[in-house]
Chain A
């Protein structure tokens, strides 16, 4: 049938539907578009990844700024901790006298009686800190004077060896003597020993416990 009273514009548009040439052109166009689909998907995917990366970068920057702000609030604490840490050489040089006495008490044999225990700091070195300069001992001299009830000199030597093993590593026995008493009626032997203990902070053999965790401080 003739297209009665149909406008030219409408007929032109309808030609797109029914004219074989236009249909072929449309088919070619649609195939071409379909062939682009993988690339479009790839582009879309890349764009999505880029956006995600940008988003994560932004988040990381935000986090960094947040951490920086938190760190700045911790600066004062850090300074205080550094100041405490600077006291370490002083604290390390302070040998716990009670622990030394405890070691003596635990190692002394039944037949030995001590009349004098002298603990002296020696070999001072200078440590500079913020308020000023401090003298810190590097070693301690332990002088033991006493008497032994039995004539065997090995008892005293054994006592001194045991005590030395309880002192910080690097400590040594400077002198150790067992002599006859001037009063022969008593039958006692006079004993004397001088030990040099290293003030190196390793006081664990003396029975000082290690601090395991910071929160126990």
Chain B
């Protein structure tokens, strides 16, 4: 008890309390899309999108990117980027951070299992064992520098995942080399950390919530900067997950395993953060619906009207602002 009090007195965020955090109910959230070299950020407050920064990577105090060989060096002097964004968009200085990371393929683990296959009784037990000794639960897994999370097949980001022994669960792993620099940077900014989400998971969850995946079997291709993740969703539940290198590989894989997937007149969607090498026409011929500005405008109706760093208000129909906005509301 006394040690708890001592720990609290030693670690209490006095600056946060004194800046009004003691009585605050809502804080602005800065949602970052962290790519290999590029960073975008959406500032939202009270569940409303306020501003969008499409070139935040140019700021010297920007969060660490996912590129290899560039260790994160925190800036010693100068104003923190979170404080800058908060004052630029006239929101309180106390911020929360959410990161959507387009991490390299070998720094992310994504796979669908069932509790039966993992030989665990419930999600909590499976998660505890994953965190303690991942090699014992995932055969052949040798790395111990991963953090682990589990989502149920409905890909709900809030609430505890619930699954029976035969229901698919999404086991997610993210390496410490991705998480720790972001956590340290966020700590240095004096912000709270809401979460770090791998881009494919965030996109699949968003697509499952926004697209009519309950009406049609859906194949969703999430093309990141270093790979493609294919998620097959039936009746709002993720049933299959594939990790491949390119969009062509993904399409070939889907065709090859069409019988196994048991898809009935599926809708195919493509979400990409960067335009792929294949032209949009070719992709359309393959039967893919590209989740681009046009599609989003048609699906969601209204564009996001966001303030730019210049102070000018502009409409945004891009997939990343919509994704970050949706995540900020979860």
A and B pair up:
yes
Q: How many angstroms between the C-alpha atoms of A168 and B67 in the bound complex? A: 119
Q: Is the CB of A1 within 8 A of B194?
A: yes
Q: Is B112 an interface residue (CB 8 A)?
A: no
Give the residues in chain B near A29, CB-CB below 8 Å.
9, 12
User: Shortest 6 CB-CB distances between A and B: which pairs?
Assistant: A4-B195, A5-B196, A1-B330, A5-B147, A5-B174, A1-B157
- Is the beta-carbon distance between A1 and B11 smaller than 8 angstroms? no
CA distance in complex: A100, B21 (Å): 104
> What are 19 residue pairs bridging A and B, where the CB atoms are less than 8 Å apart in the complex?
A1-B157, A1-B158, A1-B195, A2-B149, A3-B193, A4-B149, A5-B179, A6-B179, A10-B187, A10-B193, A16-B13, A17-B21, A18-B192, A22-B12, A23-B17, A23-B22, A25-B8, A26-B17, A30-B22
Residues of B within 8 A of A (CB): 8-9, 11-13, 16-17, 21-22, 98, 147, 149, 157-160, 172, 174, 179-180, 183, 187, 192-197, 327, 330
In chain B, what residue has the closest Cβ to A14?
Answer: B192
Chain A residues, CB < 8 A from B98: 1
**In the bound complex, do residue B149 and residue A17 qualify as a contact, i.e. CB atoms below 8 Å apart?**
no
Query: Assuming A5-B149, A6-B183, what are 9 further A-B pairs, CB within 8 angstroms?
Result: A1-B330, A2-B157, A2-B195, A5-B174, A6-B179, A6-B193, A16-B11, A16-B12, A23-B22
Q: Which residue of A lies closest to B201 (CB)?
A: A4
Q: Taking the complex as formed, is A210 at the interface, i.e. its CB lies under 8 A from any CB of chain B? A: no
Interface centre among A5, A14, A23, A29 (most CB of B within 10 A): A5
Q: Determine the residue in chain A with the shortest Cβ distance to B148.
A: A5
Cβ proximity bits A181-215 to B, threshold 8 Å, 1 near / 0 not: 00000000000000000000000000000000000
A1 to B209, CA, bound (A): 14
A25 and B174 alpha carbons, distance in the complex (Å): 35
Q: Choose among A4, A18, A22, A23 the residue with the greatest number of B CB atoms under 10 Å from its CB.
A: A4
Please indicate the chain B residues that have their CB under 8 angstroms from the CB of A5 in the complex. 147, 149, 174, 179, 195-197
State whether the Cβ of A27 lies closer than 8 Å to any Cβ in chain B. Answer: yes
Question: In the complex the two chains form, what is the Cα distance from A7 to B180 in whole Å?
Answer: 9
* Residues of the B chain whose Cβ atoms lie less than 8 Å from the Cβ of A27: 22
Residues on the B chain within 8 Å of A2, using CB: 149, 157-160, 195
Contact A30 B17 (CB under 8 A): yes
A22 CB contacts on chain B under 8 angstroms:
8, 12
What's the minimum C-beta distance from B22 to chain A, rounded to whole angstroms? 6
B183 and A10 form a contact (CB under 8 A): yes
A13 CB within 8 Å of chain B? yes
Q: How far is the CA of A14 from the CA of B22 in the complex (A)?
A: 13
Minimum C-beta distance from A147 to chain B (A): 116
**Smallest Cβ distance from A14 to chain B, in angstroms?**
5
**Min distance, Cβ B65 to any Cβ of chain A, angstroms:** 17
Give the nearest-CB partner of A13 in chain B.
B11
Whether A6 contacts B196 in the complex (CB less than 8 A), given A1-B157, A16-B13, A30-B17, comes out as yes
Instruction: Please give the distance in Å from A197's CB to the nearest CB on chain B.
Output: 96
Q: How distant is the Cα of A101 from the Cα of B12 in the complex, in angstroms? A: 105
**Residues of chain A within 8 A of B183, CB atoms compared:** 6-7, 10
CA of A7 to CA of B196, assembled, Å = 10
Taking the closest CB of chain A, its distance from the CB of B196, in whole angstroms, is 4
Which residue of chain A has the shortest Cβ distance to B193 in the bound complex? Answer: A6
Alpha-carbon distance A30/B17, docked complex (angstroms):
10
Q: Are A4 and B187 in contact (CB under 8 A)?
A: no
Return chain B residues, CB-CB under 8 Å to A16.
8, 11-13
Could you say which residues of chain A place their CB within 8 Å of the CB of B21? 17
Q: Does A4 lie within 8 Å of B196, measured CB to CB?
A: yes
Bound complex: CA A212 to CA B82 (Å): 86
* Smallest Cβ-Cβ distance to B157: which chain A residue: A1
Question: Which residues on the B side are within 8 Å of A18 (C-beta)?
Answer: 192
**Chain A residues whose C-beta falls within 8 Å of the C-beta of B9 in the assembled complex:** 29
Measured between alpha carbons, how far is A30 from B327 in the docked complex, in Å? 35
A7 touches B158 (CB 8 A): no
Give the distance in Å from the alpha carbon of A23 to the alpha carbon of B160 in the complex. Answer: 25
Residues of A near B174 (CB, < 8 A) are 5
Contact with B along A18-45 (1 / 0, CB 8 A): 1000110111011000000000000000
* A3 adjacent to B22 (CB under 8 Å): no
Q: Give the residue name and chain of the B residue nearest to A27 (CB).
A: B22
A1-B330, A17-B16 given as contacts; is B187 within 8 A of A6 (CB)? no
Which listed residue (B159, B172, B187, B194) contacts A3, Cβ 8 A?
B194
Name which residue of chain A comes closest to B146, CB basis.
A5
Q: A4 near B8 (CB under 8 angstroms)?
A: no
A29 → chain B closest CB, angstroms? 7
Give bound CA distance, A18 to B16, whole Å. Answer: 11
Instruction: Provide the residues of chain A in CB contact with B172, threshold 8 Å.
Output: 4
B192 touches A17 (CB 8 A): yes
